[in-house]
Amino acid sequence: MGRAYKVEGGWRLKGRVKVSGAKNAALPLMASSLLVEKPVVLENIPRVRDVKTFSLLLEGMGVKYEWISPSTLKLDASTLKEVKAPHELVRAMRAGILVLGPLVGRMGEAQVSFPGGCAIGARPVDQHLKGLELLGAEIKVERGYIYAKAKKLKGTRIYLDVPTVTGTENLLMASVFAEGETVIENAALEPEVVDLVKALKEMGAEIEGEGTPTIRVRGVKELRPITHRVIPDRIEGGTFLIASALTKGNVLVEDIEVGHLEALISKLEEAGVILHKENQGLRVSSYSRPKAVDVRTAPYPGFPTDLQPQFMVLMSLAQGLSVITETIFENRFLHVNELNRLGAKIKVQGQNAIIEGVPHLTGAPVMSTDLRASAALVLAGLVAEGETLVGGIDHLERGYDDFKGKLRELGARIEEVEIDENH
Ligand code: EPU
């Protein structure tokens, strides 16, 4: 048996919804607590499973964690004793690799399970390892584990072949204590990287250039504890914007950072969706069938790969033909077959999905393959005629804070049911 969401299509979303803190900012920030010998307090942490898994990972290393409010987490790494990130936890969450940089930076040693591929692609970590080696760490890969050791890291120039998000974050956390200056070239520009740097600077790290391709870090001796508020989750916010547009709803998305969503917002506007900035957030309304627009995913500030599956649902119902090009992950079209089961007309050719808009989708049982695909299938269920059963919702719960509850508040008919996954 497995759990599924039963979604009854055809209800317009109305009302207001608050975006939670960003999962992909929260995880590196949690990892940064390893760099401090006193308790760090993180506010606006989303209650999602990856955060839970990361807490367990840190706890296994001797870090004490405590929820001091429903969204405030205190992490105390003064009792850090283990430098190992075991396979069971890294397998459940690739972001476990984020402990590598801070452990080598503070302890001079780390043992982290080598993250394998996942449904959306191979996802190598060669740039993380190359950077650490350039900083002076000795790296070995044995029996599925990365072993890193360094007496003292030394500042250097690291050119990243790709602007990897977690790679940039790992190298930033490794270099805060490195002797002299470290320069990371072709660094990731994502807001989550900038949020991490903001916190590291509050702790006393000397960093400049975050949000640009060249980040400079000047090593310091120690860092001090801080209280830091995590930025809003732009992917969750974007998911609600798309959901509202899809159902021809009228929703105020609160606590959204509009500046982080320019690429999505301009594509929604091109598609004919109406967006208005209001004091508390962004209002989205839509009255007509969307127009077909082409989208190409790219590193920030380009269109986020993490919103590609959700946007594809909107294009499935658009007037005309659109092409979505996925340039970040080689296998992030696993939702296509499931959307086609609901009546969408999508063909994949290499890194392009060619979508012929249809007037309506019809409900059916579908299966999620990864986090963002599962959100896309729920969105499709909101507009498909009749009932859609979305299986594999464990994926969804890894990264969306109370998705079902928030959708219900907006008037969606969605409930959790047990299903027999063998049928
Ligand atoms: N890459 C390499 N070598 C490396 C690292 C990355 O070739 O050493 C390649 C990847 O294969 C990929 C590209 O570089 O083609 C970008 O990958 P990146 O490393 O930036 O991805 P990530 O850091 O593993 C983060 C998010 C993902 C998000 C991507 C892209 C976290 C914890 N995860 O992953 O989030 O899709 O950036 O924006 O921050 C999600 O939340 O659903 C999710 C998958």
Which band of pLDDT confidence, cut at 50, 70 and 90, is reported for residue 422? low
Q: Are 23 and 46 in contact (CB under 8 A)?
A: yes
CA distance 168 to 171: 5
Catalytic member of 56, 89, 107, 118: 118
Token reading at 192: 């989550």
Residue 42 has pLDDT above 80, yes or no: yes
Identical fold, 2-20+232-419 and 23-229: yes
Q: What is the pLDDT of residue 78?
A: 97
Q: Which of 251, 245, 257, 215 is nearest to 317 (CA)?
A: 245
Q: What is the pLDDT of residues 270-291, one digit of tens each?
A: 999 999 999 999 999 998 999 9
Average model confidence (pLDDT) for the chain? Answer: 96
Mean pLDDT throughout 350-377? Answer: 97
Is 57 near ligand 1, meaning CB less than 6 Å away?
no
The reply to whether 118 belongs to the active site is yes
Which among 162, 372, 395 is the best mutation to test ligand 1's pocket, defined by most ligand atoms within 8 Å of the CB?
162
- Give the CA dihedral 344, 345, 347, 353, nearest 10 degrees: -60
Mean pLDDT throughout 357-385? Answer: 97
Omega of the bond leading into 290 within 30 degrees of 0 (cis): no
Distance 165 CA to ligand 1 centre (A): 6
Residue 238 has pLDDT above 70, yes or no: yes
CATH pick for 23-229 out of 2.20.28.270, 3.60.20.10, 3.65.10.10, 3.30.43.10: 3.65.10.10
Residue 75 has pLDDT above 80, yes or no: yes
CATH superfamily, with its number, for domain 2-20+232-419: Enolpyruvate transferase domain (3.65.10.10)
Atom of ligand 1 nearest to the CA of 370: 42
Distance 65 CA to ligand 1 centre (A): 27
Residue 365 has pLDDT above 80, yes or no: yes
Residue 423 has pLDDT above 70, yes or no: no
DSSP β-ladder status, 352-356 and 64-69: unpaired
Residue 251 has pLDDT above 80, yes or no: yes
Q: What is the pLDDT of residue 118?
A: 78
Which band of pLDDT confidence, cut at 50, 70 and 90, is reported for residue 120? confident
Q: What is the pLDDT of residues 11-22, one digit of tens each?
A: 999 999 999 999
Q: What is the pLDDT of residues 255-267, one digit of tens each?
A: 999 999 999 999 9
Q: What is the pLDDT of residue 340?
A: 98
Distance 164 CA to ligand 1 centre (A): 6
Strands (E), 196-310: 206-208, 214-218, 227-229, 250-254, 274-278, 281-285, 295-296
CA distance 48 to 42: 15
DSSP β-ladder status, 2-8 and 387-391: antiparallel
Is 125 near ligand 1, meaning CB less than 6 Å away?
yes
Mean pLDDT throughout 340-369? Answer: 97
Q: What is the pLDDT of residue 331?
A: 87
Which band of pLDDT confidence, cut at 50, 70 and 90, is reported for residue 420? confident
Per-domain residue ranges for the chain? 2-20+232-419, 23-229
Q: Are 110 and 129 in contact (CB under 8 A)?
A: no
Which ranges of 220-276 does DSSP label H, i.e. alpha helix? 234-246, 262-270
Q: What is the pLDDT of residue 209?
A: 98
Q: What is the pLDDT of residues 176-232, one digit of tens each?
A: 999 999 999 999 999 999 999 999 999 999 999 999 999 999 999 999 999 999 999
Q: What is the pLDDT of residues 129-168, one digit of tens each?
A: 999 999 999 999 999 999 999 999 999 999 999 999 999 9
Identify the weakest region by mean pLDDT among 199-208, 263-272, 360-369, 413-422.
Answer: 413-422
Q: Are 114 and 139 in contact (CB under 8 A)?
A: no
Residue 233 has pLDDT above 80, yes or no: yes
Is 60 near ligand 1, meaning CB less than 6 Å away?
no
Ligand 1: which residue has its CA nearest to atom 25?
Answer: 165
Percentage of the chain surpassing pLDDT 70?
A: 99
DSSP secondary structure of 12-30: PPEEEEE--B-HHHHHHHH
